[in-house]
Amino acid sequence: MKTFLIPVLAIIIGIAIAFFSKNKKTAGTKLLLSFSGAFLLALTLFDLLPEVYESLNAKRTGVFIMIGILLQIILEFLSKGAEHGHVHIHKDDTEFPWLLFVSLCIHSFLEGFPIHQHNDMVYGVFIHKIPIAALITIFLLQSSFAKAKVVGFLFVFAIMTPLGTLISNHAAIPAEYINCINAVVIGIFFHISTTILFESSEGHKFNLSKLLVICLGIIIAYFV
């Protein structure tokens, strides 16, 4: 049950952060974003990548990982980078951002596939979704969209990852196909996490605080 509830909890925490920060992107949010990128990347390397390579041919795995990277590039073209903290919604915008919505839903749905009852990827997704949910909520609340649309956006966004997990764990999909999808998700995680690590500071420069939270993310991922 926790595999379904934890990703939803991440969205709730992200929304709470948005309200407590008074709808402003703070230094703490940026550091949390850096931590999440390091934690997700390390957990993917320590946990998910070896699992997939044990199940699939090595070159085939590499092909699907590259497909995942390319897919994430396409999704970011649609969302303008919302998956790693770049949200561009202006107060004067009145047209609902359907491309952003669809892109985030596809991304969230796919990241639910590697989550199983006995692995730790749920924690990587959990940490990743908190700052993203906070930043998306901040920008949605600053927009001119009706509150009902904002709530609907966040609700659907919240349930997409558990939906992916549900289908992965209970649908009659051959294990080989699930592993191929997981390899695609690895590529998505690689692209997102590395982008976060190199873009979450101004001027693409590392400062001491960011370096410390990145190291902390890697260490915690190792011992999870």
pLDDT digits (tens, 9 = 90+) for 181-194: 999 999 999 999 99
Residue holding tokens 């370096």? 211
pLDDT of 139 strictly over 60:
yes
> For the whole model, what pTM was predicted?
0.88
25: confidence class by pLDDT, cuts 50, 70, 90: low
A 10 A CB-CB count for 100 gives: 21
Distance CA 90, CA 133 (A): 17
Residue that wins the pLDDT comparison between 84 and 110: 110
Q: Which of 222, 187, 167 is nearest to 67 (CA)?
A: 187
Mean pLDDT of the chain: 86
Distance CA 32, CA 38 (A): 10
Structure tokens belonging to residue 15: 């929304």
